[in-house]
Amino acid sequence: MSASAPSKITYTSANADMTAFHKSFDEALKAVRAKLGKTHPLYIDGKPVEAKETFAKVSPIDTSLVLARFQKGDAGHADAAVKAARAIQKKWGALPWQERVQTLRKAAHFIRARKFEIAAVVTLEIGKSRLEAMGDTEEAADLIDYYCRQVEEADGYLKPLGKLLPNENTRSVLRPYGVFACIAPFNFPISLSTGMSAAALLGGNAVVYKPSIEAPWTGLLLWECFKAAGIPGGLFNFVTGSGAGLGDALWKHPGVDGVVFTGSKEVGLKVFHEFSARFVKPVLMELGGKNPAYVSETANLDDAASGVMKSAFSLQGQKCSACSRVYVHEKVYDAFVAKLVEKTKAIKIGDPTEKDVYFGPVIHERALKTFLGAAESAQKGGKILLGGERLKGGLFDKGWFAAPTIAALPLDHEIFFRELFAPFLAVGKVKSLDQAIAEANKADYGLTAGIFTAKKEEIEKFFDEVESGVCYANRPTGATTGAWPGVQSFCGWKGSGSTGKGGCGPYYVTQFMREQSRTIME
Ligand code: NAD
């Protein structure tokens, strides 16, 4: 069967003719490279604003490559942005919901129209492979469409309620909270920023958006798409700067009514604990992961090795959903590990802006240090089966390249419980599904989990007992990764999230609104 060109790249796209894709990507990359080195402002109330200082955003692929300079926003900018957002929010919130849906759909259109440019920037900015960067971009547009559909299907969340008296007429309506601070991580810079802010806007809120300091250019492109869609200045403000400086000032601002945050458990917990000082305010958090897979003695080992390899090493292990620990039944342990190592050795490592490169650099020096520290820790009590070192020579000397790493570890090793956010997979030997589930549930996190087995009853048991919001079985395209809007809700349990309702899922948008019942006696 000959492969045909895909109409849309997702994280699980396979067997497609990619000629046209790569041609368009090459052109976009060339155009983006021609724009390197510019200095970009903040956008507050629709106007460009400069700070006292700027910072250089370099590429993790080549740290001598300055992609652009961005403003080091501070507390004063957070204040100005929140005030601008407050000034316009009521007008936006009072519009018929159909108008908000229409405007956001236009934003999805502009993201799709600029998808090669956005994906090229993502590739340079955070070191994602071409396909992953395009998946991120397509997901952004699909998220908007999916959330718009949610509002339509719920008829704008207007619902007649019951009567106690014949002349009593009550409706439930969902109303906006006001101003949301939207704080995004580096690793899915376009989809997560888009999903969080689009849902907040659809709910009638205004947004002050702070992209990761590692992905400000992608964030700026989102701002441009929203602007092109007709989202008025002030409603969506773009501020850049450090987490500790600008980020802290933003969520601590008394004019912020809610926070939507995706990032690490450490930062998330801090915000969660301190945000609601005067009264309880909504804090929507999607946090880290330490995602397990189980390979049973009846598993198709080729599928299992492919699925685990892809989830462990795509985006260099820097997905919240990355498979970072795999529990393998003792009867198939040796055979599975041999296949896993073989598949991992075949990964094409290099400059991810290049066609067919699967594996690029980690995001920054800190990530590389965490990775090297884990390799050192693994030597104590465990054995590194592959990798474990910084890659050196040629292009590797220009950026932050870590080798894809697999370590066989005793089940109580600390690496089974700590999120590394690096290309580091821990492998453990177990005697049964029960033991695998018990080990999986020992970690504080509960984001994604995968199982490979030929037995249906094992799948059901795993789904029923594993403490995880996103579960997969027998998925060679990704043991624990690859969720898509409207296909897999992405809900973090335990230390992986705060609300019990996931992004990409059917209950997401309502979380940005509060209920009001309206009773009229007629
Ligand atoms: P991070 O927590 O370091 O940063 C996330 C965002 O918070 C960034 O914009 C950062 O500038 C900001 N920030 C940092 N300190 C802050 C503070 N004191 N106040 C306000 N903002 C602050 O995370 P990261 O390194 O960008 O991303 C990786 C983490 O995100 C991992 O833990 C990963 O698992 C998690 N993640 C989770 C999901 C999910 O859906 N569950 C998705 C992607 C990433």
Between the CA of 513 and the centroid of ligand 1 the distance, in Å, is: 23
CB 190 within 8 A of CB 212: no
Between the CA of 459 and the centroid of ligand 1 the distance, in Å, is: 32
Between the CA of 63 and the centroid of ligand 1 the distance, in Å, is: 22
Question: Model pTM?
Answer: 0.97
271 CA closest ligand 1 atom index: 19
The three-state secondary structure class of 520 is strand
Q: Could you tell me which residues come within 8 angstroms of residue 487 by beta carbon, excluding any fewer than 6 positions away? A: 504
pLDDT of residue 3: 62
Closest residue (by CA) to atom 12 of ligand 1? 243
- CA dist 409 and 432 (Å) reads 17
Between the CA of 262 and the centroid of ligand 1 the distance, in Å, is: 5
- CA dist 73 and 245 (Å) reads 8
- Radius of gyration for the chain, computed over Cα atoms and rounded to the nearest angstrom: 23
CB 121 within 8 A of CB 34: no
Active site residue 320: yes
Pocket test for ligand 1, best of 287, 323, 324, 480 (most atoms within 8 A of CB): 287
What 8-state DSSP symbol labels residue 352? Answer: T
What 8-state DSSP symbol labels residue 196? Answer: H
Closest residue (by CA) to atom 18 of ligand 1? 244
496 CA closest ligand 1 atom index: 41
267 CA closest ligand 1 atom index: 2
Pocket test for ligand 1, best of 212, 275, 362, 371 (most atoms within 8 A of CB): 212
Between the CA of 55 and the centroid of ligand 1 the distance, in Å, is: 19
Q: How buried is residue 471: exposed, middle or buried, by Cβ count under 10 Å (0-12/13-18/19+)?
A: middle
Closest residue (by CA) to atom 43 of ligand 1? 320
Nearest alpha-carbon partner for 340 in 315, 305, 307, 310: 305
pLDDT of residue 1: 43
Alpha helices (runs of H) in 262-382, residue ranges in sequence order: 265-275, 301-313, 333-345, 365-379
Closest residue (by CA) to atom 23 of ligand 1? 263
- CA dist 58 and 399 (Å) reads 10
490 CA closest ligand 1 atom index: 40
CB 217 within 8 A of CB 247: no
Type and span of the H or E element at 435:
helix 433-440
pLDDT per residue rounded down to tens, the chain (522 residues): 446 667 788 887 766 788 999 999 999 999 999 999 999 999 999 999 999 999 999 999 999 999 999 999 999 999 999 999 999 999 999 999 999 999 999 999 999 999 999 999 999 999 999 999 999 999 999 999 999 999 999 999 999 999 999 999 999 999 999 999 999 999 999 999 999 999 999 999 999 999 999 999 999 999 999 999 999 999 999 999 999 999 999 999 999 999 999 999 999 999 999 999 889 999 999 999 999 999 999 999 999 999 999 999 999 999 999 999 999 999 999 999 999 999 999 999 999 999 999 999 999 999 999 999 999 999 999 999 999 999 999 999 999 999 999 999 999 999 999 999 999 999 999 999 999 999 999 999 999 999 999 999 999 999 999 999 999 999 999 999 999 999 999 999 999 999 999 999 999 999 999 999 999 999
Between the CA of 263 and the centroid of ligand 1 the distance, in Å, is: 2
The 47-49 sheet, strands edge to edge: 47-49, 42-44, 236-238, 206-210, 179-183, 258-262, 283-286
Between the CA of 264 and the centroid of ligand 1 the distance, in Å, is: 4
The three-state secondary structure class of 166 is coil
- CA dist 149 and 138 (Å) reads 17
| Residue with the two structure tokens 């998330």 | 268
Between the CA of 250 and the centroid of ligand 1 the distance, in Å, is: 15
Closest residue (by CA) to atom 6 of ligand 1? 185
What 8-state DSSP symbol labels residue 416? Answer: G
pLDDT digits (tens, 9 = 90+) for 300-322: 999 999 999 999 999 999 999 99
Pick the catalytic residue from 286, 297, 419, 439: 286
Domains (ranges, CATH) in the chain?
42-153+178-287+501-513 (3.40.605.10), 291-491 (3.40.309.10)
Closest residue (by CA) to atom 28 of ligand 1? 263
265 CA closest ligand 1 atom index: 32
- CA dist 215 and 126 (Å) reads 7
Closest residue (by CA) to atom 22 of ligand 1? 243
Q: Which residues line ligand 1 (CB under 6 A)?
A: 183-188, 192, 210, 212-213, 243-244, 247-248, 251, 262-264, 267, 286-289, 320, 419, 421, 447, 490, 492, 496
